[in-house]
C-alpha cells in the first residue's frame, strides 16, 4: 500500500451512547479474536475483537474517557478506556504513551473483517465456537 493510500484510509468509532467519538488513520496492524476469560467478561460475549493500531494514530474527536487499570495474568497492568456515560469500553492501552493500542472491534463504525484474524487464547474458548480452519490459532498470547 502506498503512503498516500494508507493516509486516505480513516477509521472512526465511538461509544454506544454517542458521547465519545474517535478516529485513526491507516489500516490496522493486526486483528485478533481473543477467547480469554477477561475479553469474554468485558464483551459479555463468546470472545472479544481487538484491532491493533499505532497509539500515535488514534485521536479522540469528541467527548472524554475514563481510565480503569486492571492486573494482567503476566503480572503487568492494562489501562482500559471507556465512556463515562454509557460505560462502553473503547480501547486498551494509553495512546499517548504506548506504541500500540487495542481498539475494541465492536466500537468501530465499520466492523472489522475477522475472516483472516488470528485467534488467541484458544485454550479457553467456549465449547461450540468454531474457528475457521485456515485461521492462525494460539493457545495463549502470540509470541
Q: How many residues does the chain have?
A: 143
Q: Determine, yes or no, domain membership for 54.
A: yes
**Number of domains observed in the structure of the chain:** 1
- Mean of per-residue pLDDT scores for the chain: 90
User: Percent of the chain beyond pLDDT 90?
Assistant: 70
Under 8 Å between Cβ of 90 and 65: yes
**What does the pLDDT average to over 15-43?**
93
Domain contains 142 = no
Q: Give residue 6's pLDDT.
A: 42
Q: pLDDT digits over 36-56, tens only?
A: 998 898 888 999 999 999 999
pLDDT at 64: 96
Asked whether residue 5 is domain-assigned, the answer is: no
Domain housing 28: 11-124
Find the CATH number of the domain harbouring 44.
Answer: 2.170.150.70
- The torsion angle over the Cα atoms of residues 142, 43, 122 and 53, rounded to 10 degrees, is -20
Over 50: is that where the pLDDT of 86 sits? yes
Q: E strands along 72-139, which residues?
A: 77-82, 89-92, 100-104, 118-120
- Say which residue the cell 481487538 belongs to: 50
Mean pLDDT of 48-66: 95
Position 98 in a domain:
yes
**pLDDT at residue 7 tops 80:** no
pTM score? 0.85
- Over 70: is that where the pLDDT of 5 sits? no
Does residue 97 fall inside a structural domain? yes
Amino acid at each position: 500500500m502506498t503512503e498516500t493510500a494508507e493516509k486516505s484510509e480513516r477509521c472512526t468509532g465511538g461509544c454506544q451512547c454517542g458521547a465519545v467519538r474517535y478516529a485513526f488513520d491507516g489500516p490496522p496492524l493486526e486483528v485478533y479474536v481473543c477467547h480469554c476469560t477477561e475479553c469474554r467478561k468485558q464483551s459479555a460475549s463468546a470472545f472479544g475483537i481487538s484491532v491493533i493500531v499505532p497509539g500515535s494514530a488514534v485521536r479522540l474527536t469528541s467527548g472524554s474517557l475514563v481510565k480503569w487499570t486492571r492486573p494482567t495474568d503476566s503480572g503487568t497492568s492494562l489501562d482500559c478506556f471507556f465512556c463515562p456515560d454509557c460505560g462502553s469500553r473503547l480501547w486498551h492501552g494509553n495512546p499517548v504513551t504506548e506504541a500500540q493500542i487495542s481498539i475494541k472491534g465492536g466500537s468501530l463504525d465499520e466492523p472489522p473483517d475477522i475472516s483472516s484474524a488470528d485467534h488467541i487464547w484458544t485454550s479457553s474458548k467456549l465449547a461450540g465456537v468454531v474457528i475457521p480452519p485456515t485461521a492462525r490459532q494460539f493457545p495463549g498470547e502470540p509470541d
